[in-house]
Structures are given as C-alpha cells and as structure tokens.
Chain A
Amino acid sequence: MNENLFTSFTSPTMMGFPVVMLIILFPSIMFPSPDRLINNRLASIQQWLIQLTSKQMMSIHNHKGQTWTLMLMSLIMFIGSTNLLGLLPHSFTPTTQLSMNLGMAIPLWAGAVITGFRYKTKASLAHFLPQGTPLPLIPMLVIIETISLFIQPIALAVRLTANITAGHLLMHLIGGATLALTNISMTTALITFIILILLTILEFAVALIQAYVFTLLVSLYLHDNT
C-alpha cells in the first residue's frame, strides 16, 4: 500500500515513453480562441469568465502593471484548468510537481522584483523597512524583511504543491478506506463515502482557489513594484 500511494505522483511514462509533455499541453485544447463577434457556447463562457477575472484582478494596477495582464490571465487559466483536470480519475496533475511550480513562481517573482528595482529603486529599497520602527530595531528588521522577500517565490511554489498533493493523497486514502470498509461494516463505509464526497467538493474549490491565490500574490508583488 505504501508504494502505490505515491505512484500517481511519479512522472508519467507510457511503455517507457515520457508523456508528461502531452499531459501538460492537454488543457490548451480546452480553450479555443474566439475568432468571431459571437462565438460558440464554450468560447463565449470562457470569454465572459476571463473578462470577469481580468477586470477584478487588474483594476488595482497602474498602466505599467496592466501590461502584465496577459501573463497573469494565462497563468490563472493554466493553473485552474490543470488542477481541475487532475480531479478526473487516474489523471496526472503537473502542479503536484515542485519543479514545475518553482519554474512558474521564481521567474514571475523575480520579474516583479527586478522591475521594481530598475524603475523605482528608492521605493523598492524602502520596502525593507516598515514605517515608524524604533531606531534600535532597524538592523534586525531589515534582515527579517530581506528574508521574507526571498521566501516569497518558495512559498508560492510550495503552497501550490502542498495543497494539491495533500488533497489528492487524502482522496486516495479515504477512497481506499471506504473500499476496505465495505466488507467490515456497511454503515461506516457509507459515512466514509460521504466524507469522500465532501472532500471532492472541497478539492474542486481548492483547485480554483489555489490558482487564484497564486495569481493574486504575483499581482500583489507586481503592485508593490510598479
């Protein structure tokens, strides 16, 4: 049981052929590009959702920050669709791999910070010291703020990985427990099954929320730095 709990998180190969690239590229099929004024229903629904999200998320930025809209919208679409597709049975979720989340978090965070240092150097350096701190505390506080700055990309990546992986693991465990309990006591199995249903509803929410949180934090780092 120990080995096959984690085999669903290994890099997927099919008869020795790595198909992980195909699985990462699969969600792009689900998003057709709207080419007309009035599109088919799938494209119209996606268009409406993206307009809703982009207005809500990018309204706080100034003109310079709004140039990042395409990046952030495609980020939230990618993470959201990848997480939701991972809830299908037997599927592989690329966002459970820390390598991929680090690959998303570090460049975006670094881009925001470097933009801040290039164009508003004084303001970016001023972020290291909150207003109104007593004089003796200043050295320690600068060190703490520097550490908290460098932890941001790691926290972004680990948050996404841990949430999605923990959700999948819990579903595997509770599903296995339900199956094993059907032979022992049907009532307990039914209760466990209801827990599994509630957990699945939670996982749908978590899939979307994690995408939102990731994108929102990147946009906050951007707001600080533009």
Chain B
Amino acid sequence: MASVVPLKEKKLMDVKLGELPSWILMRDFTPKGIAGAFRRGYYRYYNKYVNVKKGGVAGISMVLAAYVLFNYCRCYKELKHERLRKYH
C-alpha cells in the first residue's frame, strides 16, 4: 500500500500498523541517534512542565516519583522478603 508521505518522515501515531516494522528499522540506532532521542525526550518534558511561566511543584515531583519507582524496581529482589506473608 503506497503512502503519500514518505515513511521516514512520519510520526509514530501516523504510521499504519502494517508499516510498523519497516518504520522501526528505519530509526537511527547509532549512539548519536540514541543520545539525540534522550535529548529530545528531556527537552520535551522540560519545556512542557518546567520551562513555563508559572511552573509548579508537579514538574520536579513527577521526576522524583519516577526516581523512587526506579529505585524500588532496583531493590525489589531484597524487598520481596519483607512482605507480610505467611510463607515467603
């Protein structure tokens, strides 16, 4: 099925399901591309929640909540043993 817009330039939400594998393979997986992806993600979050005229506490508290969640996942193995269960 031919698309009017070339596949490379479409955003993820516009890609049709059948074109998804070729879209993923066309992404830039070099270290520079991955670094660019992290940078884009960081600035997307920063410009939406922090870099605004009247930013609130939500901007950093979402980051801190994600940090707590990350650390919880990191030590889940040891925390498993401290649950209130009869048999561990």
- Please tell me which one of the listed residues B53, B64, B75, B81 contacts residue A90 in the complex, with CB atoms under 8 A apart: B75
Of A24-32, A113-121, A194-202, the stretch lying at the interface with chain B is A24-32
From A12, A19, A42, A90, B60 is in contact (CB under 8 Å) with A42
CB closest chain-A residue, reference B56? A41
Whether A91 lies near B78 (C-beta < 8 A) is no
Q: Would you list which residues of chain A between 179 and 204 have a CB under 8 Å from chain B?
A: none
User: In the complex the two chains form, is B50's CB within 8 Å of A40's CB?
Assistant: yes
- Give the secondary structure class of A's interface: mixed
Return A20 CB to nearest CB of chain B, in Å. Answer: 10
Bound state CA distance, A29 and B67, in angstroms?
Answer: 11
CA distance A89 to B51 in the complex (A): 27
Name the distance in Å between B86's Cβ and chain A's nearest Cβ.
15
Interface size classification for chain B? 20 to 34
A7: interface (CB < 8 Å): yes
What is the bound-complex CA distance between A40 and B49, given in angstroms? 10
**How far does the alpha carbon of A202 sit from the alpha carbon of B64 in the complex, in Å?**
21
Contact between A40 and B52 (Cβ–Cβ < 8 Å)? yes
Interface residues of A in 1-58 (CB under 8 A from B): 4, 7-8, 12-14, 19, 26, 29-30, 32, 40-42
Neighbour of A19 across the interface among B59, B64, B72, B74, CB < 8 A:
B74
Q: How many residues of A contact B (CB 8 A)?
A: 20
Kindly report which residue of chain B lies nearest to residue A14, judged by CB atoms: B74
CB atoms of A32 and B60 under 8 A apart: no
B19-55: CB near A (< 8 Å → 1, else 0) gives 0000000000000000000000010001000111111
Chain A residues with CB under 8 Å of B67's CB are: 26, 85, 88, 91
Chain B nearest CB, measured from A17 CB (Å)? 10
Q: Tell me the smallest distance from the CB of A44 to a CB of chain B, in Å.
A: 10
Kindly state whether residue B15 has any CB partner on chain A within 8 Å: no
CB distance from A48 to the nearest CB of B (A): 15
Tell whether A92 is near chain B: CB-to-CB under 8 Å: yes
Which residues on the B side are within 8 Å of A30 (C-beta)?
60, 63
Other-chain residue from B51, B54, B71, B79 in contact with A92 (beta carbon distance below 8 A): B71
Does A42 lie within 8 Å of B55, measured CB to CB?
yes
Which of A4, A14, A42 contacts B78, CB < 8 Å? A4
Within A53-89, the residues touching B (CB, 8 Å) are 85, 88-89
- Seen from chain B, the residues whose Cβ lies within 8 Å of a Cβ on chain A are 42, 46, 50-55, 59-60, 63-64, 67-68, 71-75, 78-79, 81-82
- For the complex of A and B, list the 9 residue pairs with the smallest distance between their C-beta atoms, beginning with the closest: A90-B71, A91-B71, A14-B74, A40-B51, A41-B55, A90-B72, A88-B68, A7-B78, A42-B50
